[in-house]
Structure 1
Amino acid sequence: MAKLTLDEMLDDVKAREAITEEAQETTEMIHNATEKLIDAAVSGKVTILSDYDADGICSAYILEHTVKAIAPDCDVDVQLNDRRGSYGLSPDLQGEDDRHYIISDMGSNQLPFAREQLGDDVIIIDHHLIEDDAIRNAFVDNTDNNKGLLNPHALHENDEMNAQYCATGLAYRVFQEMPALAQNKSIQPQITEKLENTMAVMAAIGTATDMVDVLDTHSNNREILKDGLRRIDNADEKNLDFVIGNMLARNNIPDGVTAHQLAFNVGAFLNSASRMSEIAGENGAARMYKAITGDESSAKTYRELDFLQEQNTQRKALIGELTTSDEYKAFVQEQRYGNDKDNNIAVYQLPDNVPHAFAGLVAGKLAEATDKAILCVTYEDKTQSYSGSGRNTANNETSLKAFVDSIVAREAEAFGDQQLQMTYGGHSDAIGISALNDITRLEQLVDKFQDDMKQKPLEDRTYLDMKLSDISSQETLAKVMALEPTGTGLQLPSVVVEGKENNRNQLYKRQRPDWKSVRIVDDETKEKFDIADWAYNEKSYPQFEGNRIALVAELGISDYKGIHVELTAKTDRAFSAELEKTHFQEKNHSTPEKDTSSER
């Protein structure tokens, strides 16, 4: 397996930053959509239809304020999707003749329906993959009403050549291009320092949360994140929208905030209300949007934020229940150590009538815990069908969506009939399943074509070349911070840790057998390092000579008791298989019984 140092990573990032440039064809697509948006704003009546997640909320926020900057008196109506329904435009959608419509974070694959219901001049600002060639061609054709269609994924069949913006990033690019284009139409937009800062912060929140490529050389994603994080660090009551600032503060955004903290603190908060829609019996996304755009001088605004924060706490508790159930734990054990341990994808069924909005969170946690792709679904009595989400692991070579596309297309080949009815879509490695009629047939297809989901060979993976003793140094912290923002496209490679284990039977957290710190003594310095494992199982740590163990861990930044680099254990099935081969099969060693020589 390849090794990479932090210095080499920094050099590579600088080199890629130097060649990063938004392609002219992407900029032209943004310009065309911006001009259409300006015309819509001037018309006096605009409706913005957006998705229910953080990307949908942040992009709607930016688009509404962009329209208002152009035409302060414009009647702007923002409608967020209700997560209790299906993804995309509602089949009951009806437009009004005297309004212009902007669709954000959805709608690409529904272009014919959108135009039929809302008019040929509908504006779509989206980043989801386009399934239909005719629709793709409409987005690329920059004539007449097609100028209002903005989705860079339409430009090249090889998606690696396309700008990897999320909807928020695209909305922010529209805001950035708008002043010059508005002035060309003799319009002087009303833009203040506070508005500029707030729009940049919202752009960073949406970009971080939607997990787009932070080192994409065809977009401004990296600069959007850097600029937004910088403005957060320099924010005060005068230069940032007070309600947005309050939202940041109540979600524990520290000085020197990272993209990860922004996504998993603020982004998760924005997502939480829609995830709780089914339980609360209301459109949570709409309530969240109303709260963050509320009157900063009204106590009602902050009471709403208090309520939504408490609701987010309830969401976390519910996810905790789902991921500590006996069924969940048994599934993890089977996928790690049972007959299915060598499979690279699995199907997990939640209890009936669990809100399908939770499926994506559970799928993500299972993908981490098992190191394999997960399709997670729940049966809903009211629809009499299954719905859910799928998440891939970075260690898989095959795209999750490509795999699902393939098995659905080959059902007749495999079984001689076509029983499966499955509606899904999304991105390469994260999909939403809005309807599924037969989970048994899905499981059969996954099992039948299991070998088509390929894992990256161990020799093709890159691990961080670092001594255990260097982890806690200030120099390492400085280098890791210099790599920020990190995320999809720029993740710190895992580090292989080896040393003598201490306290095998101790260091459990909150009396839970699956939450534990694994303590290793560094060979050189004899310093003890604690590595958190949130899905602990003793089988993951077979000891070889001298009570030594080896594991794969991730580096991360923590601000708990002072900012520092910390290690978290990571499930890596290929590494474990190689460890078994080199230390136990070839050397004829066996896993000992529980270590009883732990320190007391």
Structure 2
Amino acid sequence: MSIWKVYAKKADFYEIGKKYNIDPVVARVIRNRDVIGETDIEMYLSNGQDCYKILHNPRTLLDMDKAVSIIKEKISSNSKIRIIGDYDIDGICSIYILYKALEKIGADVDYVIPHRIVDGYGINENLILQAKEDGIDTIITCDNGIAAIDQIAYGKKLGMTMIITDHHDIPYIEDNNEKIYLSSKADAIINPKQIECTYPFKVLCGAGVAFKLVQVLYEEYEIPDLELSELIEFAAIATIGDIVDLKDENRVIVKLGLNKIKNTKNLGLKALIDLCGIDMENISTYHIGFIIGPCLNASGRLDTANRALQMLLEKDEKKAYELAGDLKALNDERKDMTQKELLKGLDIVEKDSLNNDNVLVVYLPDCHESLAGIIAGRIREKYYKPTIVLTNAEEGVKGSGRSIDGYNMFEEINKCKDLLIKFGGHPMAAGMSLSEENVENFRKKLNDCANLSESDLTKVTWIDVAMPVDYVTMDLVKQLSVLEPFGKSNEKPIFADNNLIVKNAYLIGKNKNVLKITLENERGNIIEAISFRASQENLPVRGDKKSILYYPNINLYNGRTSLQFNIIEMSE
């Protein structure tokens, strides 16, 4: 069980509620998400319809005007442009956004997606040489390129124009405990994380950065905002799928993007949503993050991400359905493979006593390298420890890591860079390659460097409001919808109540793993609740007193609506 803590952030919740016509509980949740001041609150509560007026000025991104000027000159001179992206959901959507936009404004443009196994992550010398041989004048990267110092230099040596659009952390070296940030010789670099960049929002995904570039290009070519709306749904999909912070303009992009997806004109996306059995009218961040996103990612994991992009670009409905069906089948195969390797990984942690380590490094030599990140995330969830899964690759060993709050994986791995061939990533996730002989040394050094206490390795669940269950009404539940869409840094709120008496409890569902429970509070109010984390061994007993963490919903059954409380955690 996690440690429960209640937010204690201060504001005049009643005044905020009155001003914006929301319940003080909703106002408190908004404050807990660090949304402060009229401008931020209005952006947070906006319905997304006027998002282009709300979004930050893209021209404040460092090198934006320079990149746009170069692209305009290349278009006017009929120079060939190639987009090089990444093979994950963010890379696929980034390429789609740039390709469709550049095509619309008259560019001679094509794209290349690196193959996960053959090419590895990001732009490389072979891709650059191939572009040169294909008569390409200009390369634009998306969702990669910021760390490609030598590769960009190679492109410049060949006389090519190189433009980077990326969102990853800026690479650096340490000298006397001082970080010295590195930069390539690209003709223009658009990345809000650059130290000199004054753009006010630093955590766009790769497709978000690409969308910003398109905003300015469309403005230059006098293309109306309405045309942007055909692309924002893909910026939204990438924002959700790449798990960047769902706050500020990311949240606005996702709001408008989800609204657009409900009426999408993209045949491939529409087919995939249909084949996955999703109700288009009620599509949410959950559907994108856990159903659509994995299908798009499966192409890059097990085959080539070109299949996903071809589906999104397809103009024939029948062919779009065929391609969507292929992606769904690939994802089903990926899920089976993941489960088998996950069980092996958990077994290794237990049998090899790796669970005594504070940082788990699990070597699964036969695992498909594309599954390492997923499995690392699952193992991290079980043990709540930073986890890296390593697999055998064509050249040496490759790995992917997932971190926990308080452990900056990118910086910690940087301390071990002498054992690595290549690495990159974020505070919460990273990728690396190394020789097999360094696997054990890498594990030991990571743990030797780790400064993690017992409290760091105990998950904390933050309670938004300690709210008695009888305060909840249908109207409040409906008001909570203004907090959507939910995601990283804008999580679904958690409420708490205690001293609830168990009146009845039993297991339902095909696998008897869903708890249906009736609870009564001290004032005699009775509620119906449900929990998806249950077993016969921990079945509550009638008369027990329980504390619960919950989120309220409206349940519709046989035409009748009622309040239902989803239990997130319950005291033992």
Q: TM above 0.5, one fold?
A: yes
Change (3 A) 1:441 1:146: closer
Give yes or no for contact 1:470–1:476 (8 Å, CA) kept in 2.
no
C-alpha RMSD of matched pairs (Å): 4.1
Is structure 2 residue 100 aligned with structure 1 residue 65? yes
For 2:193, what is the secondary structure of its paired residue?
helix
Is structure 2 residue 220 aligned with structure 1 residue 177? no
Name 1:294's counterpart in structure 2: 314
Q: Write the deviation string for residues 455-491 of structure 1: whole angstroms up to 9, x where unpaired.
A: 5599997312244636985334323321122212222
User: Shift of the alpha carbon at 1:454?
Assistant: 7.7
Name 1:594's counterpart in structure 2: none
Residue correspondences, number: 518
**Aligned pairs (5 A) from 1:519-538:** 519=517, 521-524=519-522, 525-533=525-533
Change (3 A) 1:423 1:339: closer
Change (3 A) 1:160 1:146: closer
Paired residue type of 1:209: G
Change (3 A) 1:21 1:104: closer
Name 1:41's counterpart in structure 2: 75
Give yes or no for contact 1:360–1:389 (8 Å, CA) kept in 2.
yes
Q: Write the deviation string for residues 206-244 of structure 1: whole angstroms up to 9, x where unpaired.
A: 11111112214xxx32221122122223x16xxx23333
Partners in 2 of 1:520 and 1:479 — Cα distance?
Answer: 25
Change (3 A) 1:8 1:261: same
Partners in 2 of 1:215 and 1:446 — Cα distance?
Answer: 32
Partners in 1 of 2:550 and 2:446 — Cα distance?
Answer: 29
Give yes or no for contact 2:504–2:542 (8 Å, CA) kept in 1.
no
Give yes or no for contact 2:165–2:190 (8 Å, CA) kept in 1.
yes
Name 1:9's counterpart in structure 2: 29
Name 1:413's counterpart in structure 2: none
Give yes or no for contact 2:137–2:161 (8 Å, CA) kept in 1.
no
Name 1:205's counterpart in structure 2: 237
Unpaired segments ≥5 residues, structure 1? 140-144, 184-188, 278-283, 410-417, 571-575, 580-590, 592-600
**Aligned pairs (5 A) from 1:246-395:** 246-251=271-276, 252-277=278-303, 284-297=304-317, 299-323=318-342, 325=343, 328=346, 331=349, 340=355, 345-350=359-364, 352-380=365-393, 382-383=394-395, 385-393=396-404
Change (3 A) 1:432 1:511: same
Change (3 A) 1:258 1:303: closer
Paired residue type of 2:148: Q
User: Shift of the alpha carbon at 1:137?
Assistant: 6.7
Change (3 A) 1:327 1:246: closer
Name 2:448's counterpart in structure 1: 448
Name 2:64's counterpart in structure 1: 30
Is structure 2 residue 134 aligned with structure 1 residue 105? no
Name 1:123's counterpart in structure 2: 163
Is structure 2 residue 251 aligned with structure 1 residue 222? yes
User: Shift of the alpha carbon at 1:51?
Assistant: 0.3
- Farther off after superposition, 452-461 or 51-60: 452-461
Change (3 A) 1:198 1:136: farther
Partners in 2 of 1:502 and 1:405 — Cα distance?
Answer: 54
Give yes or no for contact 1:542–1:549 (8 Å, CA) kept in 2.
no
Name 2:111's counterpart in structure 1: 78
Partners in 2 of 1:422 and 1:557 — Cα distance?
Answer: 52
Taking structure 1 as the reference length, the TM-score comes to 0.74
Residue of 267, 274, 288 corresponding to 1:242: 267
Partners in 1 of 2:162 and 2:41 — Cα distance?
Answer: 35
Q: Write the deviation string for residues 336-370 of structure 1: whole angstroms up to 9, x where unpaired.
A: xx9948x65323333x2211111111122222232
Identity of aligned residues (%): 20
User: Shift of the alpha carbon at 1:68?
Assistant: 0.9
Partners in 1 of 2:139 and 2:267 — Cα distance?
Answer: 29
Partners in 2 of 1:114 and 1:55 — Cα distance?
Answer: 21
Name 1:153's counterpart in structure 2: 193
Taking structure 2 as the reference length, the TM-score comes to 0.77
Name 1:582's counterpart in structure 2: none
- Farther off after superposition, 465-474 or 107-116: 465-474
Partners in 2 of 1:530 and 1:522 — Cα distance?
Answer: 14
